[in-house]
Chains A and B, each alone.
Chain A
Amino acid sequence: MSNIYMLELSTGCDNVIEMQDIWKTYADGNHALRGVSVRIDRNEFVYLVGPSGAGKSTFMKLIYREEVPTKGQISVNGFNIGKLKQRKIPFVRRNIGVIFQDFRLLPKLTAYENIAFAMEVIEAPRRIIKRRTMEVLELVGLRGKHASLPAQLSGGEQQRIAIARAIVNNPAVIVADEPTGNLDPETSWGIMNLLEEINFRGTTIVMATHNREIVNRLRKRVIAIENGIIARDEARGEYGYEI
């Protein structure tokens, strides 16, 4: 895999994500996070668990800079993104792959075009875009569906395309917000295998989930957020909540 088009932002440091005493208070006065400090290293796979509204989504949004902390420091890939200029945000996002529960594919673009778009954004040459896009389509097992529109694909297939888009630029981190939330159990396991494979190849993964079975069977580091603080952080943790 060529890394020439990876961004200038990549640094060699071990801690991919570091938060120091992060507070996030929304305009309505809701304290989503209240003093969170955490460090996530290169190549880690982290589950983010906790009740709805506990602050998981805010935690994720801070990483890909959709939200800025009210107080505290956050660095991703060695960059202090709390103080990032508006103009620089796109360049930070190119080194973070984001996956959502609702896939968020561009509805009028084919599977191939959706993935290629992420590479067009970094102005990669067409030849390389083509090679790399087919490569990741192969990796997610959908080479044969490159010309299909999102609406013509099943939920699992759409999520695979979204994952392919997230990894196409070789990001250091993948942030996945309930990637299996809309999928049946069997399809969910397929997605998990894929994420594990990507993690195995060297990408840090932070995944928010409510899926107890996955967390308990595929043991990884578990960070539990409750009421805006980290309630638990275990190296090979369990889901720990009754449904």
Chain B
Amino acid sequence: MVMKFSTILRHLREGVKNVVRNGWMSFASISSIGISLFILGVFMLLAMNVNNLASQIESQVQIRVFLQLNTEQAKIEQLNNTIGNMPEVSKVKFVSKEEGLEMLRTNLGEDGNELLEGYDNTNNPLPDSFTVEVVDPQTIAFVAKKISAINEAEGEQPISSVKYGQGTVETLFKVTTAVRNIGLVIVAGLAITAMFLISNTIKITILARRREIGIMKLVGATNNFIRWPFFIEGALIGLLGSLVTVALLLFGYSQLVQVSQVELGLMMIKLVTVEESGLLVAALLIGMGTAIGIWGSTISVRKYLKV
């Protein structure tokens, strides 16, 4: 049956009015949605930051490719191209043995002075090497193997060893994956809890109105006629609750990012910015709030319509 336009307007008007008429009940529902989604939002931001941190750590892993001593310049260039052309590789940097020695000195600091004493460019014991960064850190072992395989193709075996922190890197990835999964589980669990909490509150507010629904049926209202204003009311309550929450959450988070910039910056930790996270968090929370509002009210009304 096609609804008259004036009836659609009527339902919209009634839905909005109902939010106002049931002042305290609406307030309870909006608060319940707000608080649940706020907690969910906090954990979403936390999970996003943990994920970001894990990515930062992962992106620091790199492959060192050590060459045989006295490899010819032409061969080095050829290898540089071969490795650089691999699709998984994002960056190749040649580190000459002179640079290698210099880096070693810097890394070891005071303690190294004694150890590296007497070594200079004429008797440098280090080989030339490449530093290779990969696009996806998780593929590092595969890429390392691929680089080692170059030796098989070449007769003279120009590569002496390929190192990427075998063992350590695998453990690191296990930890970051676990942390990510735990974050995801917590967020999913909270989302489900929030849904039940909110729909329960809405159910209680509608329970108080089952008499109203009975009267509406008595004067000859069809089920759809009764349902629509409740549908709109639920959507509105969900929307209001989630909008307030998103505003508070993102404002609070932007303050946190600002305040923590200096202190966390020293520890080389960078929080996800509001610009990066805001849209996703807002869309998810508002979408969820509205959907739950509609779901809760529709389900509950349906129960009392069977008169």
Contact = CB atoms under 8 A, between A and B. Distances in A.
Of the listed residues A66, A120, A122, the one surrounded by the most CB atoms of chain B closer than 10 A to its CB is A120
B238 to A, nearest CB: 21
How many A residues touch the partner, as a band? 20 to 34
Interface in A63-78: 64, 66
Most buried by A among B7, B21, B222, B307: B222
Given A106-B212, A108-B21, A126-B6, A121 B218 contact: no
Contact of B218 (A104, A122, A169): A104
Interface string A71-99: 00000000000000001001111100010
A155 to B, nearest CB: 17
Does more than half of chain B's interface fall in helix, strand or loop, or is it mixed? helix
Interface in A118-177: 118, 120-123, 125-126, 165, 169
B222 A90 contact: yes
Contacts of A105: 215
A92 to B, nearest CB: 8
B221 interface: yes
Interface string B79-103: 0000000000000000000000000
A121 B6 contact: no
Interface residues of B, number: 20
A106 B220 contact: no
B160 interface: no
Interface in A165-204: 165, 169
Interface string B22-37: 1000000000000000
A103 to B, nearest CB: 10
A90 B6 contact: no
A94 B219 contact: yes
Interface in B189-233: 211-212, 214-223, 225
A117 B220 CA distance: 10
B4 interface: yes
Interface of A: 64, 66, 87, 90-94, 98, 104-109, 117-118, 120-123, 125-126, 165, 169
